[in-house]
């Protein structure tokens, strides 16, 4: 059995035939054992745990240490016991400081990697079982519901209004609707709607998928493979020390040769002159250089640890300080990775929504705007998410949680609304109609609350709510509302439209004769401290470039919000990166944002900037950011960047 290279492009029935599995029965126990022996465990291990001996030996791999070791050997050979002993003590202290510091960091990082053991529900031998995620094999039939983590790459064979959060893999800040139909074989990762990927999570709906890749064969695993195959290179400090060591060797050899020659020409004893020349050469070597460098780097490493940044190698601290270009992810790094309602649009106009949640006892800020309250009331009712308090994270689709949080600005709490308008029927979101609806008791009839894509809701609406009731929605008004939705989109907002209808029957068609209430614009807002951090980086002479998997319009909007400057207008999509890399440094210098970028393309960008002579750092919280950087780059959060670069500024 050969695993298909493009499972997203195959019909579900054909894929099951190639994988020799039935969706009704799943794999047998014997077949699972065979496939586990062939494909291995469903785990991703980027590197082996650092052994104590390996970390200790690493402290003696510097050219300066080699030079000092040779000097100590010569000193002992010629009876210079004090000189040789001093060098040995310096080397021991240097190794001890570096060993202890790196051991603590290595063990802390390994502890973090060990967190999060998961299980998966699969169908095997006709029965549903709960198994450890690492036991999944290609051909397993996995069953998924909202809230489940995806433990392997899967091709969907059944789907019921399923959406997934793929922000950690693709950079998309909103959930992605999934379906079972094949997509193009050359579709980019973010466009493979028939696939679920390891490391992502299901936010809504349910589905059944067949596992098509496990472990390092998954998309997440291939990101790790980029790390393993990348040339580790050396840090600027390591290169400088190596160059200094070579220069010291030649200088001491020349000095020793000159002194020895002068003595021999002057008639001195040859053995005495050779011994004196070697002793002079040993004395010329700076024994204190390694320990001074190690102490300086260790202090930097400890300071970074206090900023919650773990660094495995001491030399990476110097690399961090020498950075000239920062490639930063967007979702969760420049932004909060939390969808937030920013604008409301009703017939009476647009309203900016504050991101600050109302405090206990504070009068809701939107409660006095009648149309805004009605708009948010429909949005809160038409939801599957749960949020009891503004300071909670909530559960469910991120956009729906944002709507519930915005409802609190108008004094609307979902539990109270459902107590008043008990839900009787729910029409789940359907990618075909691009809408969802909930039916609620309302007096002697029923209230149908609808939300969805603006073009879909407007097509189903026949009237629009104004200040004193509802008026007919003609073609001119419909075009005007579509233009408002496009205006929101041009500003990087995700747009939803809300509508309603009162009916005497609960089971009537939900998407007919609707009354449009208004539009809601949402975004993943920029972190409040990011603009200052970017300004500090610029003052230190460091260029900041956004590299994200999200859409160009959204990326450009966030770039302007965080202060990327004029370069924020120059956005290059991932499919054009190869041509840009070939053009070299002049083309790279003008780009401020790279959008729709895959992990492999991020690594290509790192290499391109390094080839142009830049020292590159990457920052982010997703797998697409920190994993690809196997070369001498650094990854850290902006909370650590700002204090560090501010420390470089004059008082």
Closest CA to 72 of 64, 292, 59: 64
The residues near 590 (Cβ < 8 Å, ≥ 6 apart) are 567, 570
How many CB atoms neighbour CB 20 within 10 A? 11
| Neighbour-count burial of 254, counting CB atoms closer than 10 A to its CB (0-12 exposed, 13-18 middle, 19+ buried) | exposed
Query: From the DSSP assignment, how many helices (H) and strands (E) are in the chain?
Result: 23, 21
User: What are phi and psi for residue 181, nearest 5 degrees?
Assistant: -75, 145
Q: Is 120 helix (H, G, I), strand (E, B) or coil?
A: strand
User: What are phi and psi for residue 503, nearest 5 degrees?
Assistant: -145, 160
Separation of alpha carbons 39 and 32, rounded Å = 10
The answer to whether 518 touches 345, Cβ cutoff 8 Å, is: yes
User: Where in 321-475 does DSSP place strands (E)?
Assistant: 325-328, 340-346, 349-352, 423-430, 435-442, 445-452, 461-466, 469-472
For residue 468, the 8-state DSSP code is T
Separation of alpha carbons 470 and 459, rounded Å = 17
Separation of alpha carbons 593 and 576, rounded Å = 12
Separation of alpha carbons 393 and 571, rounded Å = 32
Closest CA to 316 of 638, 649, 618: 618
Cα dihedral sign, 305-309-313-316: negative
The residue from 148, 153, 165, 329 that is catalytic is: 329
| Neighbour-count burial of 541, counting CB atoms closer than 10 A to its CB (0-12 exposed, 13-18 middle, 19+ buried) | exposed
**Partners of 120 in the β-ladder:** 131
For residue 334, the 8-state DSSP code is T
Q: Is 494 helix (H, G, I), strand (E, B) or coil?
A: strand
The helix or strand, by DSSP H or E, that contains position 292, with its residue range, turns out to be helix 289-306
The answer to whether 140 touches 26, Cβ cutoff 8 Å, is: yes
Catalytic status, residue 391: no
Catalytic sites, residue numbers: 329
């Amino acid at each position: 059995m050969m695993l298909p290279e493009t499972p997203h492009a195959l019909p579900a029935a054909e894929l099951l035939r190639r994988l020799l599995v039935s969706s009704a029965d799943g794999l047998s126990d014997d077949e699972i054992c065979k496939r586990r022996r062939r494909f291995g465990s469903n785990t991703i291990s980027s590197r082996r745990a650092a052994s104590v001996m390996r970390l200790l030996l690493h402290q003696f791999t510097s050219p300066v240490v080699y030079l000092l070791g040779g000097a100590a050997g010569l000193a002992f050979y010629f009876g210079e016991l004090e000189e040789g002993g001093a060098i040995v003590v310096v080397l021991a202290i240097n190794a001890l400081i570096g060993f202890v510091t790196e051991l603590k960091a290595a063990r802390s990082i390994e502890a973090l990697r060990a967190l999060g053991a998961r299980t998966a529900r699969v169908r095997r031998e006709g029965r549903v079982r709960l198994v450890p995620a690492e036991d999944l094999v290609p051909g397993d039939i996995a069953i998924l519901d909202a809230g489940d983590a995806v433990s392997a790459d899967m091709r969907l064979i059944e789907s019921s209004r399923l959406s997934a959060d793929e922000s950690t893999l693709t950079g998309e800040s909103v959930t992605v609707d999934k379906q079972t139909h094949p997509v193009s074989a050359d579709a980019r990762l973010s466009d493979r709607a028939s696939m679920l990927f390891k490391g992502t999570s299901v936010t809504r709906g349910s589905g059944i998928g067949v596992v098509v890749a496990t472990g390092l064969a998954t998309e997440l695993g291939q990101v790790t493979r980029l790390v393993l195959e990348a040339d580790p290179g050396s840090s600027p400090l390591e290169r400088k020390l190596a160059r200094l060591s070579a220069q010291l060797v030649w200088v001491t050899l020349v000095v020793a040769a000159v002194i020895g020659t002068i003595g021999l020409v002057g008639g001195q004893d040859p053995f005495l002159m050779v011994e004196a020349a070697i002793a002079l050469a040993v004395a010329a070597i700076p024994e204190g250089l390694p320990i001074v460098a190690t102490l300086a780097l260790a202090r930097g490493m400890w300071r970074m640890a206090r900023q919650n940044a773990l660094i495995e190698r001491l030399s990476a601290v110097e690399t961090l300080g020498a950075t000239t270009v920062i490639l930063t992810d967007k979702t969760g790094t420049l932004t909060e990775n939390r969808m937030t309602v920013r604008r409301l649009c009703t017939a009476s106009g647009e309203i900016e929504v504050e991101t600050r949640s109302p405090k206990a006892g504070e009068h809701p800020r939107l409660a006095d705007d009648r149309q805004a309250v009605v708009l948010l009331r429909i949005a809160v009712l038409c939801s599957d998410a749960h949020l009891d308090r503004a300071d909670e994270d909530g559960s469910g689709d991120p956009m729906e949680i944002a709507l519930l949080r915005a409802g609190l600005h108008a004094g609307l709490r979902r539990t109270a609304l459902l107590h008043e308008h008990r839900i009787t029927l729910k029409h789940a979101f359907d990618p075909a109609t691009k809408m969802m609806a909930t039916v609620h008791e309302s007096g002697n009839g029923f209230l149908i609350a609808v939300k969805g894509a603006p073009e879909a809701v407007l097509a189903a609406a026949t009237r629009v709510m104004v200040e004193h009731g509802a008026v007919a929605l003609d073609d001119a008004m419909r075009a005007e509302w579509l233009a408002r939705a496009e205006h929101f989109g041009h500003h990087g907002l995700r747009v939803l439209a809300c509508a309603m209808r009162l009916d005497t029957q609960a089971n009537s068609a939900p998407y007919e004769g609707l009354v449009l209430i208004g539009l809601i614009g949402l975004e993943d807002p920029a972190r409040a401290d990011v603009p200052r951090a970017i300004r500090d980086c610029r003052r230190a002479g460091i260029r900041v470039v956004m590299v994200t998997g999200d859409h160009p319009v959204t990326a450009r909007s966030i770039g302007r919000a965080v202060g990327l400057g004029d370069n924020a207008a120059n956005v290059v999509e991932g499919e054009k990166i190869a041509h840009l890399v070939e053009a070299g440094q002049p083309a790279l210098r003008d780009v401020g944002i790279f959008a729709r970028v895959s992990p492999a393309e991020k690594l290509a960008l790192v290499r391109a900037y390094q080839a142009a002579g830049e020292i590159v750092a990457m920052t982010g919280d997703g797998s697409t950011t920190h994993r690809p950087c196997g070369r001498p780059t650094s990854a850290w959060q902006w909370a650590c960047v700002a204090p560090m670069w501010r420390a470089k500024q004059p008082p």
